[in-house]
Structure 1
């Protein structure tokens, strides 16, 4: 089986990364633009609250349920063609979304957009795993993280400008059409710059690490069909759907829908049993559950799920506070996050260059920055409520959260996937991203519900502070996991040195 010493870097790897960054930029800008376009969509299509909720929910559900399956398919059949298919699907769905004449058509198109995004994202992570090693892989994930920071900054500002230029009833359409030239560019660059083996071959298939072979596990069509594990894919997809559905539905969900949670737990248990059965029968399961015995992967996946459960609610609460609480426009609200996004991009680049040298300490430091930014933002809002400070001080305090974003997300991805076998790079990346989707949906639902409950008996500053306290609790739990992982790594190094 090939080892790290056998790895020969492809001279075109940075071009591959450039294509991945373009596609990631498109998909993330598409998400953040829609968040500021909802009032325009409501006015243009006369959508009710339930239909408006599904503009976000449909995308979140279809994006989340297929991540692991898409990642595993990339492991087996090749990441390049699936990446291009995902970009093409996302782009076509953007056109359909922009042309929609009613809320139902828009929501169907948004669901297809989510499928495209769920298809391309695991391939991007897997290709970075394939093409980069060691410190260079950290730098590649750092560039990836910088693109996240820039797209987060550009999305709300671009959305606000497009809506102002296009008008309140039709401006939302251009928030979808803007994806089209970027998607076409990503496809053209992929066809021109991806190495031909990446486009032509049927995937790496480096063999089963538990068997120690290096053969092509997918040498025949029938064997590949079994390796993809369609039963496991269906069980896991239904389990993720059941867990996500009550939370992405939010306040519009009927009470009975919460019964999906125990159903999700049962489906998860059934999926685990099936995967173990596949392994016992000598077949390749969709997910090799042995990767959860890789301590760095298990800790990193739990850490990032908790982190996303907390930190993604920051921008929801800031937008609500600035627009509903203080009466600012969507464009003005978007400017509040600009310094944070710039700091995130810079921190991600720095973290990528230094994560292999400093390890988990980069992530731990980022979480401390997050806690400082959260506490300082609470202080600004409290003082603003007392008439003793301006809300625009949030530009400074939220910059600390931006530093945290860059220092946590990409470095954690590098550390979490470092010891995962390459033949499971796509599916393991999909597992991490599924945890992020679940964490995001659960966190936003719970923390915004807490803020609105406080708002019923108090004012916006009090509701904002209560929501941020909830975020601090969850981020602190993620910090505990990071500290435990750092202690484990230190003991392991001492053990290896003594051995």
Structure 2
């Protein structure tokens, strides 16, 4: 009989700490998707326009992306546990500000602060998983992590709809943020008790490259901002695209500075040697394209069901539940199969996602109105089954050869790619959707107009998923050629 007073096993402690990390990751990702269904309620309650509504969704992703790399670097060289608790505390406080926001300006600012806080804590999650697990256990851990991310992304709209139904159509959106506060406080308590206080450090890399961080921030901001400001409406300012010139100049300056900084014997923000690893480089590109498509599809689905078919938010959100359940199952399975099948598993998942989204689109525009939500939900099951084979196996493959001392910054660069992809994908797909509605607003058959809008928006999203598939096939081909020739992967 086990002694109840005995100290818990190291393996049990690791999984308890992992549980805290995954729970906080789910809370963070939920705020990327659950707020979508609250946009009509926020519009009515605070009089928000298209630009403000876009900033509530994409501004969160923008701030998230800007905070990731410096936070990941700080966590690697100092303490992931400390940065995790700081980020989680700030996220909880920003959620309180969102819930109490008296006007749309305060809400937008609070959402940006919330995104910064999320960007502080998320790299620590990935770095801690790298630190806690090795080998096959790491694959299983990323399998659970991927399942959680998949469920949080897909279940967010349903949860958001339920909260709005409880709180009412005018102020129900405030419950989307109130729920974060008790959950955040509970997570802070367990984080302080369970997260490891010690971590390995690279003793030669302890300084912080402030100029490199600034240049990377300018580069990321200049890339994401024009897409964040794209609504598809007639008031879109074409001058916003000049920010891409700033992106090109910032990227050139960043690369020059980082290489010069390293030549002087110092430690840059990004060690470009990481990108010599094709597993890491290709994995980031696949994830960027994938996360450009997925949030865009969920947003388009929610908008179409609520505005086009007139469904209540809670029922519009329920359409994504099959995606969540299917992706949770296959992510768990994928975490166990990734060592055997590698990138081929990701390619299979991408094919299933594309097939599933084509079926969702067909259900939206071809089926009888009364059957549309049910058929879209059934098609989401196919897409979700594929999504689970993408997220966790790709995360495992991307970070498999990264040194543990670089886990935070390497994971944060992958997250930057995802957040940039989200901003670009949501802007491209939603602006296409809304531009179609504006262009055809005089038509007598408004349902046909929404059919055109969702078809055009889905075309963009499916095209982005096809890009992810091509990148996955390229990586699969490279891996098989290396296996045949026996040529090793370059080291980071």
Q: Report the TM-score when normalising by structure 2.
A: 0.91
Summarize the alignment of residues 446-457 of structure 1 with structure 2, pairs less than 5 Å apart. Answer: 446-455=428-437, 456-457=439-440
- Residue deviations 1:306-362 (CA, integer Å, cap 9, x gap): 222223321121112211111111111101001111111111111111111111111
Of residues 220, 229, 242 in structure 2, which corresponds to 1:249? 229
Query: What is the SS of the residue equivalent to 1:128?
Result: helix
Extract unaligned runs of 5+ from structure 1: 1-7, 198-202, 207-215, 219-223
Partners of 2:72 and 2:335 in 1: how far apart?
A: 23
Q: Write the mapping of 1:231-246 to structure 2, written as runs, cut at 5 A.
A: 231-246=211-226
CA separation of 1:150 and 1:305: change in aligned 2, threshold 3 A? closer
Unaligned runs of 5+ in 2: 1-8, 441-447
Q: Tell me the SS of whatever aligns to 2:170.
A: coil
2:61 aligns with: 60
Q: Which residue of 2 aligns with 1:416?
A: 398
**How far does residue 423 in structure 1 lie from its aligned partner after superposition?**
2.0
Cα distance change, pair 454–98 in 1 and its aligned pair in 2 (3 A):
closer
Mapped contact 1:12–1:195 kept (Cα < 8 A): no
The alignment status of 1:278 with 2:258, answered yes or no, reads no
Question: How far has the Cα of 1:39 moved from its partner?
Answer: 2.2
Q: Deviations over 1:232-256 (max 9, x none)?
A: 0000011100111010112254221
Query: Is 1:148 aligned to 2:140, yes or no?
Result: no
Q: What are the equivalent positions in structure 2 for 1:251-266 lying under 5 Å apart?
A: 251=231, 253-266=236-249
Q: Is the 8 Å Cα contact of residues 32 and 61 (structure 2) preserved in structure 1? A: no
Give RMSD over aligned pairs.
2.1
- 1:89 aligned to 2:90? yes
Cα distance, 1:106–1:472 mapped onto 2, change above 3 Å: closer
Q: Tell me the SS of whatever aligns to 2:122.
A: helix
Cα pair 1:22 1:182 within 8 Å, conserved: no
Which among 327, 346, 369 is matched to residue 344 of structure 1?
Answer: 327
Instruction: Tell me which residue corresponds to 2:204.
Output: 217
* Matching residue within 460, 469, 479 for 2:469: 479
Q: Which moved more, 1:351-360 or 1:464-473?
A: 464-473
Q: Deviations over 1:441-493 (max 9, x none)?
A: 11121222333344434622233223323323222221121112112112222
CA-to-aligned-CA distance 1:361-411 (integer Å, 9 cap, x gap): 1101101101211222232233226x7964421111111111122111111
Q: Which range moves more in the overlay, 309-318 or 133-142? A: 309-318
Aligned to 1:13: 14
CA spacing shift, 1:78–1:58, aligned 2, 3 Å: same
1:396 is matched with 378
Partner of residue 293, structure 2 = 310
> 2:416 — aligned with what?
434
Residue 11 of structure 1, CA deviation: 5.1
2:486 aligned counterpart, secondary structure: helix
Q: 1:31 and 1:375 mapped to 2: Cα distance?
A: 23
Asked if structure 2 preserves the Cα contact closer than 8 Å seen for 1:384 and 1:391, the reply is no
Show the counterpart of 1:492.
482
Cα offset, 1:150, TM superposition: 2.6
| Alpha-carbon distance in 2 for matches of 1:486, 1:280 | 34
Residue matched to 1:44: 45
What does residue 299 of structure 1 align with?
282
From 202, 205, 209, the equivalent of 2:201 is 205
Q: Structure 1 residue aligned with 2:250, among 267, 271, 285? A: 267
1:443 and 2:425 are equivalent in the alignment: yes
User: What is the CA deviation profile of residues 192-215 of structure 1, one whole-angstrom value per residue up to 9, with x for unaligned ones?
Assistant: 112332xxxxx5323xxxxxxxxx
Aligned residue number for residue 104 of structure 1:
105
How far is 1:178 from its partner?
Answer: 0.3
- State how far apart, in whole Å, the 2-side matches of 1:483 and 1:150 are: 26
CA distance in 2, matches of 1:466, 1:103: 30
Shift of 1:138: 1.0
Give the deviation of 1:296 after TM superposition.
0.7
- Whether the aligned pair in 1 keeps the contact of 2:153 and 2:324 (CA below 8 Å) is yes
**Alignment CA distance shift 1:453-1:229 (3 Å):** same
